[in-house]
Amino acid sequence: MTAHFSGKNVFITGAGSGIGYQTALVFAEGGADIIATDVNMAGLEQLKPEIERLGRQCHTHSLDVTDEAAYQALVRRLDSAGVIPDIVVNNAGLGIMSPFLRTTTAEWQLTLNVNVMGVVFGCREFAALWQQRGMPGHLVNVASMASIAPPANLSAYVASKYAVEGLCEVLAMEFQDANIAVSCLHPGVINTAIVQDSSRTHMPPDEVARLQRHYVEHGDHPRVVAEDIANGVLKGTGTILSGKGVGKVAFMKRLLPRKAFRKLLIDASRKMGYMPLK
């Protein structure tokens, strides 16, 4: 990628692995300096020299996106240091694979705190800072293909991603005159660690193994999503669809009656491993 982002600072949550890690590399390749955050400092320690080898700066910070006070303190430090991001990628997230009736209240709260409130805090803190400084900005919030075509046995995750999509719509309206762009990202089947963590599942081991195998064999590399994010920011795209078949599925959702589309979702859930095979 040519230096489209020269002179820009890009803030990324969940940058220690997967989509966040690759997004940091892609923006750095495009000339940006990176502000990388995660609860996983080991991942950030690996990322930092890779960014610096590209001739860009990489500021790393430990951040639990559910900790509002810690988020506010970090934004104040960045402001004081003159390292204000031009682009914010609210990427940190998690998924709990579980039938609805077996998903605990604690698991619901954890999912909503990370996937929704973590995005809310990022949007609120940086949008307020941009407005105070009279500068433009771009928010990229990571939803999911699951908010277009939800699989079974992922109720908390799906609900959280619908919330992110709805939040993006509202922010796009509220910030339309503030020179703050908002993009909602919908990754499809991406081969990341999110489905490899068997500690966050109440599914039978054979189904989990089948699902993990599907993501390895058919999932896109996170680099695909990272490049789509960068291209979406360049073009000012409000809805970024990323991954094999996501655009086709979104079109089918608009075209088909709800009952017919749900049948396709059930079939896909069985094929992927979210539901047992018949």
pTM: 0.93
Write out pLDDT tens, residues 162-211: 999 999 999 999 999 999 999 999 999 887 665 555 567 776 676 767 66
What is the model's pLDDT at position 278? 72
Question: Does residue 274 have a pLDDT over 90?
Answer: no
157 is known as an active-site residue: yes
DSSP string, the chain: --STTTT-EEEESSTTSHHHHHHHHHHHHTT-EEEEEES-HHHHHHHHHHHHHTT--EEEEE--TT-HHHHHHHHHHHHHTT---SEEEE------BB-GGG--HHHHHHHHIIIIIHHHHHHHHHHHHHHHHT--EEEEEE--GGGTSPPSSBHHHHHHHHHHHHHHHHHHHHTTTTTEEEEEEEE-SB-SGGGT-GGGB-S-HHHHHHHHHHHHHHPBPHHHHHHHHHHHHHHT-SEEEESTTHHHHHHHHHHS-HHHHHHHHHHHHHHHTSS---
What is the model's pLDDT at position 218? 65
Q: What percent of the chain has pLDDT over 90?
A: 81
Q: What integer is the mean pLDDT of 63-91? A: 98
Write out pLDDT tens, residues 212-245: 675 776 668 999 999 999 999 999 999 999 999 8
The catalytic position among 21, 71, 157, 215 is 157
Domains in the chain, please, with CATH?
Answer: 9-272 (3.40.50.720)
